[in-house]
Structure formats: C-alpha cells, structure tokens
C-alpha cells in the first residue's frame, strides 16, 4: 500500500492553532489558521499516547523497538526519553522521508498565508511565533521501510547491531490496511521470529468497523485501542 | 381557558428557552415557526391565547436546530444555531411595552454572527448567560478539528462586549500532554450559568477519549469558571467519580447558581443515557474557595440521580432545572411513562429529593424548559414543552399556604432570591 502524501496528511490532520492570551494563563484563542501534522498540533498528543503505551507494554531499557508508521518519529523520541531503549521509526511515506530532515518553516508560513494572514505581521506572526521553532521535523532516525522484504528487515536489524527488535509496534496505521494487505504484512513481519508485535489503533473507526477484539482475531497480535487504551491479546 | 395552552402549532427544539415575564406583566415564549425561523409568542394571559409579536421583523431563513434565551430586565438575549448556514447567531428581543412593533433587535442586534465554524460540529449546542453590564457570554459546540481523518468535537466560549464578539476561546483541549488536554479527544455539550453574586460565569461540558467519529459516549464532566475579566480557571475534571452523561451527546441541560450559606453552589441537570436504564442526574458543583466551581468534595454528593428514565430526543436530554433559593425543581420527559412529564424537587440544594411524581399525563414530551415567576397572586413554575410537535405552556403552582395573602413586595423578594433564567 502507498504511504500518506502531504495532501493526505493535511486532510487527516487539520487543527486550529491555539494562541495563548497574555496575562490569562488558562486562555487560548482558537486561531482561524489551521496547521496539520506539525509539532505544535500533534507532538503533545503523540507524547501523551506513548506515555501510555510504554506503561502498558512495560518497555524497558533493554528493549529494541521499531515503530511502524512513525511519521516524523515524535513517538520514538518520547519512547527513548522514557526508557532509554533502542528505537527506530519506519514509514513508507515519500512525503515524510523527503521532508524529515528539514524544518516546518515553509509549511507553517504557507498555512498562515492560505488562511489570509501575513506570517511577518499581526495575527499571522502571532501564530508563527507559537508554531514555529527551528527544530528539525525528525530528531530520531526514521527509515523508509515497511518490513516487507528480507532487505527491509535486515536494514532494521542493523539499527540494533544486527539483532532482531524485541517489539514491533504499529502506530495508528493498521486501519488503513485491507485484510489482504494485513495478511501479507503479517506473514513478512513474523519472519522476525523473536519479535513481539503490538498494534496501537482506533477501534470502531470508521464507524461500524473492527473492534479491538476483531483486530486481535485478524492479526493474532496484541491490540491497544487508542482513546480508551483498552488492551486485547 | 385552562392550562395547558397551545403557544404555537409547531414543535420546539433543543436548548434552554423557558417562558419569560415582562415588567408590564406580559408573557413571552421564544419558539419556531413552520420553517424553523425564530419567532416570539406573546400572551397577556397565558391561560388564554398566544399571538406572534413583531411578526414582520423576526430573523428569517434560519432553519434553527438549537437555541437558548435568557432575560435581562425586559430584554431577551437569544443565541441560536442555523443549520442551513451552519453558523451561530445572536439576536435580541425587547419585551417592553404592549406594542407588537419594532421589538426584534435591528442591525447588529439581529442575527449577528457569533461564529461560523469552518467545519460544523456534529451535534450543535449553545448556552447563554448575560452579565450585569450587558456583556453576553455563550458556550457552544464549535469548529471541529480533524485527527487521523476523524472529526474531533470542540467547545468554545465567546464574549460579546460593547456589541462585538471577541472570538472563540478554547474550552477543553489546550494542546497539552494531560490525557484530558490533548488533541485526540472530544469535547461537547457545554452549558453555562452566571453566578448569583458576581459576573463570573460557571461552565460545564463533556469529555471523552473515545476515538469514534462522532463519539459514542461521553466519559467525564469538565468544569471551568470564566471570571468577570474573562480569565478562565483551570479545567477541573470529574475523573475520580465518572460524573458523565453517557451516550446522550447533548444530554446535559441548563444550570442554576445560587448562594448557599455564603458559598456559591451550581447545579446542572442532565439525561444520562437514552437506554431503558437511563437516569437523570444533577451535577452538584461547589465553590472551591476561590470563586471557581469544582465538583462537590464529597464523592457521594457529586451528582444526584432521578430514578425514572429521562428521555432523550435524538441526542438531547429532555429535562429542565430551576431554583428558588436553595429549592430545586426539575421537570423531565419520563421515558418509563410514555414520555409524560414528571416532577421532583429538593429543599436542600439537591442533597435529598421528594418522591418523583407525574406532573402532566397524556403528553408525548420532546422538549421542556422552565422558569419561575409570579403570576397574579401565585408563584408558579412555568414551563413550555413540545407535545408531539406542538409547543404548549403550563404551570405548576408553587405557592404554599404560608405564601397566601403575602404582599407583592414579599412575593417579589422570594422570586428575586434565585438566579435562573429570570431576573428582575
């Protein structure tokens, strides 16, 4: 299957920027300017998510974790902060891989302009000051990889000193796969025979789709349901 | 004629918009006409007949789906959601005088845009409060965000000062890492009420981490206070006790706030769930010592349950709450009793309740909203309700033997001892 394009990310993530109000520490104005898959809008959410995942799975410093569908690897950053484990993110998106070594500056400015504001003055500058830092999009390695070939799996093993990872964790990804695609991916990923596999996903989304139990039955793997953090398997 | 009377042969809709009494002694109901435009119906004797006021100047072309109204003297402040335009608007109606001419607001006082969300909320909702200086505060289901392709419901507060809306300020999500504060959650069904002793506005709304779009259930209540300088307090969550309204996405209805032995208390009514086991609840909030609201410190007192089912119409809980000092009065549509109207009261701020009893039989109640005022020599719990698609008016006499033959000033003082939708 294809990875997300920039257009896919912009559609899937569309969040009005929250602008602090001076002198009112609990007040945040909702700007009409929307950002997308950017640190200011999603990093805190992903960090909070990984706080829960680490606790649920008991990941420790000796673990070697590959995060599948890692995006820019903000979850990998948090995972390493919490556990000091070895971790690497993988994502097959051409958009992620072509932009991960740059900053968010151009995209933020473009979003501000698209909303009818000037990034250099007024409210546009106010939002830019909230949203933009000079940080690189990815501060941890993110490989273009999906574990679906021997080479792909060997490339991941190289990140861990030519040993298999202890965990494969797919992050908010599995619901984009068809059952046939899942079956193929599963058979390839399980060639890492000593690796445990867990899928973090949205159950019942889209509506009336699979529950965590259904996903567990489909994959035979542990499932963590986002939101409730219900664990199956 | 006798009560109940027909206000308008048209159904009523979601939101809190009880009957009102003007200084001239007339009675008004904000209703909808056959094309879902807002209208105001007026009666000199609500037991007799109702006619539309200022029919030529009502806001039109609205397809209203939810609206809330509150009284400030003879002025009605009305906030509504227009489904055809997908925006929230504000209007005024002046109850002064007996004339039907020129009573709707004009210019920016008529159909003034509060906000036009780019991405409409799945379950629109708006609640309104008015301050002593005329500033208007609304809380509403606002512009949704999107995370991983699914809409995330949001709630906002907005304040009208000197005729201008200041723009949405986020309630709920403020982008932190606390599970209640991240982007990948829903907020909804906000309601507000002005404090009885200040221009603070107390706000309650619902939260869930449920990732469905729209969410299938709320899991927690959240409380904040907007002070008179428009600063929000820190969000307080009901996580310890799970004070939630379950699967009714707009189950929570109006609130009241009053002084209880020197401390502010706030109460909101809610329908907990639409199922056969659904219960009505009253959220019990208390002042935390700094003027802000929090959930009652004693866990067992954080909500009171009405044991009969409170019916839900779509996603909207059919119940209403009014106070008179520490006395609370609730009317609701009882799903266990063919949706007839039932009543329960408390004389101790909600700690204990009377025996629930049927108030009105043989109705199919789809909406209800209540107020308390003096009519003649009686103190009445006045309410409008939708009976199978017709808006009707009825009263429950609250006058006790000790209240008979009281002079007007004393009766007025009793009414003035509460702050609900009615202010003198």
d(CA A80, CA A53): 12
Max distance between CA atoms of chain B, in angstroms, equals: 66
Backbone region of residue B362 per phi and psi (left: phi > 0; alpha: psi in -120 to 50; beta: other values): left
List CB contacts (< 8 A) between B236 and chain A. Answer: none
Q: In this structure, are residues B206 and B221 in contact, taking their beta carbons and an 8 Å threshold?
A: yes
d(CA B251, CA B212): 18
Please give the full DSSP string across B119-166, using - where no structure is assigned.
S--SS--EEEEE-TTS-EEEEEE---EEETTEEE--EEEEEEETTEE-
Per DSSP, the three-state class of B77 is strand
Backbone region of residue B191 per phi and psi (left: phi > 0; alpha: psi in -120 to 50; beta: other values): beta
Q: In this structure, are residues B371 and B377 in contact, taking their beta carbons and an 8 Å threshold?
A: no
Minimum mean pLDDT range among A53-67, B213-227, B235-249: B235-249
Pull the structure tokens for residue B237.
């969550």
Chain pair A-B, CB pairs under 8 angstroms? 108
Q: In this structure, are residues B155 and B188 in contact, taking their beta carbons and an 8 Å threshold?
A: yes
Minimum mean pLDDT range among A141-155, B86-100, B142-156, B232-246: B232-246
pLDDT digits (tens, 9 = 90+) for B354-406: 898 999 999 999 999 999 999 999 999 999 999 999 999 999 999 875 555 55
Residue of chain B with shortest Cα separation from A7: B149
List CB contacts (< 8 A) between A49 and chain B. Answer: 182, 184
d(CA B201, CA B57): 31
Beta-carbon contacts of B275 under 8 Å, excluding residues fewer than 6 positions away, are B247
d(CA A131, CA B416): 49
Q: Which of A14, A45, A205 lies nearest to residue B213, judging by beta carbons?
A: A205
Interchain contact A18–B (C-beta under 8 A): yes
d(CA B88, CA B114): 5
Q: Indicate the DSSP class of residue A39.
A: I
Interchain contact A47–B (C-beta under 8 A): yes
Phi, psi dihedral angles at B181 (to 5 degrees): -125, 10
This prediction has a pTM of: 0.94
* Rounded to 5°, angle at Cα B170 from B168 and B173: 155
* C-alpha closest to that of A199 among A166, A226, A233, A222: A222
Q: In this structure, are residues B86 and B62 in contact, taking their beta carbons and an 8 Å threshold?
A: no
Q: In this structure, are residues B167 and A29 in contact, taking their beta carbons and an 8 Å threshold?
A: yes
Burial annotation A139-150 (CB, 10 A radius, 16+ → b, else e) = ebebbbbbbbee
Residue of chain B with shortest Cα separation from A16: B145
Residue of chain B with shortest Cα separation from A171: B148
Question: Chain B interface, mutation test: which of A55, A227, A229, most B Cβ atoms within 10 Å?
Answer: A227
List CB contacts (< 8 A) between B147 and chain A. Answer: 12-13, 15, 42, 45
Lateral strand order in the sheet of B340-346? B319-324, B327-334, B340-346, B357-360
List CB contacts (< 8 A) between A207 and chain B. Answer: 212-213
List CB contacts (< 8 A) between B209 and chain A. Answer: 226-228
Hey, are the CB atoms on B146 and A11 less than 8 Å from each other? yes
Predicted confidence pLDDT, tens digits, chain A (233 residues): 679 999 999 999 999 999 999 999 999 999 999 999 999 999 999 999 999 999 999 999 999 999 999 999 999 999 999 999 999 999 999 999 999 999 999 999 999 999 999 999 999 999 999 999 999 999 999 999 999 999 999 999 999 999 999 999 999 988 888 889 999 999 999 999 888 999 999 988 877 689 999 999 999 999 999 998 999 99
Tell me what percent of chain A is helix, strand and coil, each rounded to the nearest 5: 40, 20, 40
Question: Chain B interface, mutation test: which of A48, A93, A176, most B Cβ atoms within 10 Å?
Answer: A48
Residue with tokens 């021997």: A150
Question: What ipTM score was computed for the predicted complex, to two decimals?
Answer: 0.94
* C-alpha closest to that of B103 among B163, B39, B53, B173: B53
Interchain contact B116–A (C-beta under 8 A): no
Residue of chain B with shortest Cα separation from A204: B212
- Per DSSP bridges, beta strands B38-43 and B303-306 are unpaired
Q: In this structure, are residues B339 and B363 in contact, taking their beta carbons and an 8 Å threshold?
A: yes
Hey, are the CB atoms on A29 and B233 less than 8 Å from each other? no
Q: Which of A18, A29, A205 lies nearest to residue B167, judging by beta carbons?
A: A29
Chain A residues 26-45 within an 8 A CB cutoff of chain B: 26-30, 32, 34, 40-42, 44-45
List CB contacts (< 8 A) between B178 and chain A. Answer: 48
> How far B398 CA sits from the closest chain A CA (Å)?
42
pLDDT digits (tens, 9 = 90+) for B189-211: 999 999 999 999 999 999 998 88
d(CA B9, CA B388): 10
């Amino acid at each position: 299957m294809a990875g997300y394009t920039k257009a896919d990310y912009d559609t899937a993530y569309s969040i009005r920027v929250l602008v602090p109000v001076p002198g009112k520490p609990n007040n945040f104005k909702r700007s009409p300017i929307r950002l997308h898959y950017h640190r200011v809008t999603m990093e805190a959410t992903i960090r909070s998510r990984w706080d829960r995942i680490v606790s649920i799975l008991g990941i420790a410093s000796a673990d070697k974790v590959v995060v599948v569908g890692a995006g820019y690897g903000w979850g990998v950053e948090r995972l390493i902060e919490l556990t000091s484990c070895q971790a690497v993110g993988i994502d097959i998106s051409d958009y992620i891989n072509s932009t991960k070594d740059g900053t968010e500056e151009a995209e933020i400015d473009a979003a501000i302009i698209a909303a009818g504001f000037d990034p250099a003055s007024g409210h546009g500058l106010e939002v830019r000051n909230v949203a933009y830092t000079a940080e690189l999009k990815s501060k941890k390695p993110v490989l273009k990889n999906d574990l679906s070939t021997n080479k792909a799996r060997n490339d991941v093993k190289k990140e861990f000193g030519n040993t298999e990872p202890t965990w494969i964790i797919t992050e908010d990804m599995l619901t984009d796969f068809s059952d046939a695609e899942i079956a193929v991916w599963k058979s390839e990923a399980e060639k890492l025979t000593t690796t445990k596999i867990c899928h973090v996903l949205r159950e019942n989304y889209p509506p009336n789709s699979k529950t965590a139990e259904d996903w567990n039955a489909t994959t035979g793997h542990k499932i963590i349901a986002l939101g409730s953090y219900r664990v199956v398997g | 004629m006798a009560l109940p009377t027909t206000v308008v042969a048209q159904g009523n809709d979601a939101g809190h918009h009880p009957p009102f009494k003007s200084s001239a002694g007339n009675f008004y109901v904000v209703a909808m006409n056959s094309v879902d435009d807002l209208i105001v119906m007026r009666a000199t004797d609500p037991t007799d007949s109702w006619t539309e006021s200022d029919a030529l100047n009502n806001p039109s072309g609205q397809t209203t789906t939810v609206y809330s109204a509150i009284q400030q003297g003879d002025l009605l402040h009305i906030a509504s959601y227009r489904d055809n335009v997908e925006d929230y608007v504000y209007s005024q109606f002046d109850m002064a005088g007996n004339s039907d001419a020129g009573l709707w607001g004009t210019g920016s006082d008529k159909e003034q845009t509060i906000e036009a969300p780019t991405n409409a909320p799945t379950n629109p909702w708006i609640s309104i409060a008015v301050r002593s200086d005329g500033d208007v505060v609304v809380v509403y289901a606002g512009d949704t965000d999107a995370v991983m392709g699914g809409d995330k419901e949001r709630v906002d507060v907005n304040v009208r000062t000197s005729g201008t809306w200041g723009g949405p300020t986020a309630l709920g999500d403020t982008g932190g890492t606390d599970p209640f504060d991240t982007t990948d959650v829903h907020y909804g069904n906000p309601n507000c009420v002005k404090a009885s002793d200040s221009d603070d506005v107390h706000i309650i709304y619902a939260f869930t981490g449920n990732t469905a779009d729209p969410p299938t259930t709320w899991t927690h209540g959240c409380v904040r206070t907007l002070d008179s300088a428009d600063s929000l307090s820190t969000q307080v969550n009901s996580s310890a006790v799970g004070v939630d309204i379950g699967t009714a996405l707009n189950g929570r209805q109006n609130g009241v706030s009053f002084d209880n032995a020197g401390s502010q208390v706030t109460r909101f009514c809610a329908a907990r769930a639409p199922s056969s086991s659904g219960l009505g609840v009253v959220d019990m909030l208390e002042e935390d010592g700094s003027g802000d609201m929090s959930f009652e410190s004693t866990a067992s007192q954080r909500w009171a349950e009405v044991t009969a089912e409170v019916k839900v119409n779509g996603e909207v809980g059919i119940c209403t709450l009014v106070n008179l000092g520490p006395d609370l009065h609730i009317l609701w549509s009882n799903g266990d009793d063919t949706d007839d109207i039932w009543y329960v009261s408390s004389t101790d701020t909600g700690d204990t309740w009377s025996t629930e009893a049927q108030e009105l039989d043989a109705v199919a109640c789809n909406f209800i909203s209540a107020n308390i005022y003096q009519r003649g020599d009686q103190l009445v719990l006045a309410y409008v309700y939708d009976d199978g698609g017709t808006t009707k008016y009825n009263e429950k006499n609250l006058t006790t033997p000790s209240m008979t033959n009281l002079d007007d000033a004393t009766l007025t003082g009793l009414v003035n001892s509460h702050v609900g939708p009615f202010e003198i």
